[in-house]
Amino acid sequence: MPFKSGFVTIIGRPNVGKSTLLNRIVGEKIAIMSDKPQTTRHKITAIYNDDVSQIVFVDTPGIHKPKNKLGDFMVTGAVNAMRDVDLVLLMTDHSTQIGPGDRFLLDLIEQAGVHAMLVINKIDRMSPEDFKTVYDVYDTMPFIEDIIGISATEGKGIDELIRRIQARLPEGPAFYPKDQLTDQTERTIVAEIIREKALQYLDDEIPHGVAVEIRSMKMRSDKELYDIEAEIICEKKSHKGIIIGKNGRKLKGIGKSARQDIERLLETQVNLQIWVKIREGWRDDSSMLKQLGYKEES
């Protein structure tokens, strides 16, 4: 059997399960997960390898109407990720209605003229009738070449999804070493893990005003412990108090939960120190966005 390889972009409305699918496919936590919309801010490349293929997945921020420069970055990144790929996975969920966000994505796919497959996630929450309703609506669209139902959280349909993607890829060599799972640096993944935990602990009114910057990340000389210093960046003094919590409890919870995931990632003990800093209007500050890694792409 000839070896196949190619690039696959995952797009979808916020919170349909793109990062969950990505983590499920590669078997590691390389994209953060949260029940807050627009959790993903960076394009995340995950690399799936087996004996007959290498599939390079590109995750994207959930496309939404931007309200600041950070939002502009996220949407531009998602649109650019559709360029020059072999397949686009349009991901939706158990919602039976096609909303404005879905229609916007469908228009983008049609205009781009790309090969597209619909992935209906969260089928564990759907009745057969609801699944058929969603299937029938998208099946009328000529640019949707295939439709599959999955449950990213339970792993249902993932093997079949991989097989269908492989069938649509060209023959070609591997682009990355077989033991590489992502093009993200450990530093970036550590920052995202901390931000994931912050999102899980924080109230709904402030999650998008939060970023994480790794100030220092060093392995000790005995190579048995990582010292990591990080800052959670927020926009208001009141937000800082919420993040820290009464007697520092919330920040301690964020730190403990993040440290456990980081230790699994780095396979060593971690000494994690987290501070909370106020940077008013950072989401509209071009220099601050660049410092945090949100670089514009051509």
Kindly list the structural domains of the chain, giving each domain's residue range(s) and its CATH number in brackets, ordered by start: 4-167 (3.40.50.300), 186-291 (3.30.300.20)
- Are 209 and 235 in contact by the 8 Å Cβ rule? The answer is yes
Question: What pLDDT was estimated at residue 174?
Answer: 92
Question: What pLDDT was estimated at residue 60?
Answer: 66
- pLDDT tens digits for 47-65? 899 999 999 988 765 554 5
Q: How crowded is the C-beta side of 17, counted as CA atoms within 13 Å? A: 23
Whole-number Å distance between alpha carbons of 102 and 91: 9
- pLDDT tens digits for 136-158? 999 999 999 999 999 999 999 99
Question: What pLDDT was estimated at residue 182?
Answer: 82
The reply to whether the predicted model has a pTM over 0.75 is no
Question: What pLDDT was estimated at residue 189?
Answer: 86
Whole-number Å distance between alpha carbons of 252 and 244: 8
- Are 149 and 157 in contact by the 8 Å Cβ rule? The answer is yes
How would you write the pLDDT of the chain (298 residues) with one tens digit per residue?
A: 799 999 998 888 877 888 889 889 988 776 655 555 444 445 667 889 999 999 998 876 555 455 555 556 555 655 666 667 899 999 998 777 788 878 888 887 887 788 899 999 999 999 999 999 999 999 999 999 999 999 999 999 999 999 999 999 999 999 888 888 887 788 888 988 898 898 888 766 565 668 888 899 999 888 789 999 999 988 888 889 888 989 999 999 999 999 999 998 888 999 999 999 988 777 666 666 666 666 544 4
Question: What pLDDT was estimated at residue 79?
Answer: 62
- Are 143 and 109 in contact by the 8 Å Cβ rule? The answer is yes
Closest CA relative to residue 144, chosen from 121, 120, 115, 122: 115
Question: What pLDDT was estimated at residue 77?
Answer: 55
Dihedral of the CA atoms 66, 72, 78, 84 (nearest 10)?
140
